[in-house]
Amino acid sequence: MSDSASIMPEHPPVTDWVNDFDHTDPTWTENPFPIWEELRAASPVVHTERFLGCYMPTTYQAVKEIAYDTEHFSSRRVIVRDIRPEITARAPPITSDPPEHKPAKQLLLPPFTPDAMKKLEPRVRAICNELIDEFIADGKCDAAARYTKHVPVRAIAHMLGIPEKDGDLFIKWIHGILELGIKDDNALMEAVREMTGYFAAHLEQRKQNPTDDLISTLMKARDKDGNPLADEHVLGSLRLLLIAGIDTTWSAIGSSLWHLAKTPADRERLVKEPELMPLAVEELLRAYSPVTMAREVMKETTVSGCPVKSGNMVLLSFPAANRDPAMFPDADKVVIDRKENRHAAFGLGIHRCVGSNLARMEMTVAIEEWLKRIPDFRLDPAGKVTWSEGTVRGPRQLPMLFGKTN
Amino acid sequence: MAGKLKVRVDQDKCQGHARCKSLAPELFDLDEFGNAHEVGDGSVPEGLEDKAYLAQSNCPEIAIEVTEE
């Protein structure tokens, strides 16, 4: 259990965004887009004294420079938090820098190719329909709690070969790590400990009885010298897949449905022209990118002409990069058939999200199946949409009404 | 008449976003790690010129070259 001593003092409200930004401030959580615009107008790189010192690149160009520069910017810490404890639980390859990064990533890539995702797709389609069956007759639902959350949980459980019904545990750990953990170290450590114990038991089972799933694939993997991976490496990668594979996609599907609920023209167009889905998914990923990463500055350098000093963290906001009008005309508008779209929702450079093909497939299938069964829907004016805080942004309550308005 | 087009994926830049394969599967393919390469010698068959440019303009790593022969 968390004790109050481990919880950092509450953050004072932000009054000066340019010199004192805070991505955990309720104003940011509710609607970050005007804040990013203000920061971008001020400088390509801004700084806050919060989080023991942290920069934020505000333009696509500055985000790209940092993502490509693994010499000055380390991935050993990938979440901006109030504290910087000693690094204990690594999660390769996301927390790896060159030269360790490439071999760790190569091991994870083959199970996540588009072809591999095609094999998983029928199961995900069935999951979506099982979920919709549970609430469609009610004429309404909280789409975050009843739908968008469960699609990635069940899909990744299916891939890993662990029970889909353990999903509630996964969601609890992820909340502890990505949200509570920013300010409460005990909540984070407790979640990591429980998760590691859970996967260690699955590893032991498979040592006796090997299976045909992603956990066994990792256990059978050999490094370049032909040696099996240490249990600690396998456990780290499993923690990563679970943390990175769930609330990210949950958020992306949720933001997409939120947009479609309040934008009948886009919804009707997708129902009439389903062939637009691939472009639409990329545009929804651009406009509502869920994932903000972090780096730690290892050596002094400059980014887009701005000096950057070691000892600071960097809030690497791919979502803000994707709203930069210098890169995307009408950046704050969702153009559902945008043709030119080099968005960075899955990162840029060597840390490109290993699960990007999985996320795209889940988003596509989850939106398609929803639109087939529930072509007309809107936000429930009696309810309230709430958004997650911190590193991954998406709706956590998404009350919807089905059918046409009269 | 414009010349024939050729596409090429820069292997040092490609990070496996797979956008090209999704937009122009006739012109790009992926290896076992999901990284892209051009199909055959990269020659763009007639009628697929737009797809070549579409793939190029959606690559987040600017890894695709389109050249006119």
**Which among B16, B54, B59 is the nearest to A109, CB-wise?**
B16
Residue-level pLDDT at A6: 53
Residue A88 pLDDT exceeds 50: yes
Q: What order of strands is seen across the sheet that includes strand A54-57?
A: A45-48, A54-57, A313-317, A292-297, A73-74
B17 touches chain A (CB under 8 A): yes
Residues across chain A:
406
Integer angstrom CA distances of residue A148 from A293, A366, A389: 22, 8, 17
A319-351 in b/e form (b: 16+ CB < 10 A) is: bbbbbbeebbeebeebbbebeebbbbbbbbbbb
Residue-level pLDDT at B2: 58
Residue-level pLDDT at A242: 86
pLDDT range class, residue A146, cuts 50, 70, 90 = very high
Residues of B in contact with A322 (CB under 8 A): none
Helix (H, G, I), strand (E, B) or coil at A387: strand
B21 touches chain A (CB under 8 A): yes
Report the mean per-residue pLDDT for chain A: 93
Residues of B in contact with A346 (CB under 8 A): 17, 60
Helix (H, G, I), strand (E, B) or coil at A304: coil
* Token pair in block for residue A29: 């959580």
Cβ within 8 Å, pair A356-B54: no
- Domain annotation covers residue A25: no
Helix (H, G, I), strand (E, B) or coil at A129: helix
Residue B43 pLDDT exceeds 90: yes
**Helical H segments across chain B, by residue range:** 19-23, 49-56
- Domain annotation covers residue A199: yes
Residue-level pLDDT at B52: 98
- Domain annotation covers residue A203: yes
Backbone angles phi, psi at A228, to 5 degrees: -65, 160
Residue-level pLDDT at A184: 87
DSSP state of A146: I
Domain of B31, CATH number, reads 3.30.70.20
Report long-range pairs for A128-137 (Cβ below 8 Å, ≥24 apart).
Answer: A128/A365, A128/A366, A128/A369, A128/A370, A129/A369, A129/A373, A132/A369, A132/A370, A132/A373, A132/A374, A136/A373, A136/A374, A136/A402
- Domain annotation covers residue A11: no
Max CA separation in chain B (angstroms)? 39
Residues A108 and A120: their CA atoms lie apart, in Å, by 16
Q: Which domain holds residue B49?
A: 5-68
CA-closest candidate to residue B16, choices A336, A351, A156:
A351
Mean pLDDT in residue range A393-400: 97
Mean pLDDT in residue range A154-162: 92
Cβ within 8 Å, pair B57-A339: yes
Integer angstrom CA distances of residue A158 from A55, A123, A242, A280: 38, 8, 12, 27
Backbone angles phi, psi at B28, to 5 degrees: -130, 145
Mean pLDDT in residue range B10-36: 97
Mean pLDDT in residue range A299-314: 98
Residues of A in contact with B18 (CB under 8 A): 113-114, 356-357
Residues A112 and A127: their CA atoms lie apart, in Å, by 19
Highest mean pLDDT among A213-217, A239-243, A308-312, B3-7 belongs to A308-312
- Interface ipTM above 0.90: yes
Strand-strand pairing, A313-317 and A301-303:
unpaired
Mean pLDDT in residue range A209-216: 91
Residue A405 pLDDT exceeds 80: no
Residue-level pLDDT at A7: 61
**Helical H segments across A263-329, by residue range:** 264-272, 277-287, 318-321
**Which among B22, B32, B60 is the nearest to A342, CB-wise?**
B60
Q: Give ∠ CA A11-A293-A312 in degrees, rounded to 5.
A: 60
Give just the sign of the alpha carbon dihedral A310, A313, A318, A324: negative
Residue A2 pLDDT exceeds 70: no
Counting the structural domains of chain A, the total is 1
Q: Which domain holds residue A183?
A: 33-402
Asked if A376 and A404 touch (Cβ cutoff 8 Å), the reply is yes
Residues across chain B:
69
Question: CA of B68, closest CA in chain A: separation in Å?
Answer: 21
Q: pLDDT tens-digit profile of A11-21?
A: 999 999 999 99
- Tell me whether the omega of the peptide bond preceding residue A228 falls within 30 degrees of 0, making it cis: no
Q: Look at A43-47, A240-244, A259-263, B55-59 and tell me which has the smallest mean pLDDT.
A: A240-244
Counting the structural domains of chain B, the total is 1
Q: pLDDT tens-digit profile of A313-335?
A: 999 999 999 999 999 999 999 99
Backbone angles phi, psi at A148, to 5 degrees: -60, -35
Give just the sign of the alpha carbon dihedral A333, A268, A365, B9: negative
Mean pLDDT in residue range B6-31: 98
Asked if A176 and A165 touch (Cβ cutoff 8 Å), the reply is no
Interface A-B: count of C-beta contacts within 8 A: 51
Share of chain A above pLDDT 90, in %: 78
Q: pLDDT tens-digit profile of A341-354?
A: 999 999 999 999 99
Residue A221: CB atoms within 10 Å: 16
pLDDT range class, residue B1, cuts 50, 70, 90 = very low
A98 touches chain B (CB under 8 A): no
Helix (H, G, I), strand (E, B) or coil at A391: coil
Residue-level pLDDT at A77: 93
Question: CA of A190, closest CA in chain B: separation in Å?
Answer: 34
User: Mutating which of B13, B14, B19, B20 best tests the A interface, going by the most A Cβ atoms within 10 A?
Assistant: B19
Cβ within 8 Å, pair A340-B57: yes
Mean pLDDT in residue range A104-113: 92
Integer angstrom CA distances of residue A188 from A88, A103, A328, A366: 12, 28, 37, 30
Q: pLDDT tens-digit profile of A176-202?
A: 888 888 888 898 899 999 999 999 999
Cβ within 8 Å, pair A114-B18: yes
Domain of A70, CATH number, reads 1.10.630.10
CA-closest candidate to residue A315, choices A30, A48, A112:
A48
Give A6 or A164, the one with higher predicted confidence.
A164
Asked if A243 and A91 touch (Cβ cutoff 8 Å), the reply is yes
Mean pLDDT in residue range A212-224: 88
pLDDT range class, residue A1, cuts 50, 70, 90 = very low
* Token pair in block for residue A391: 């590193």
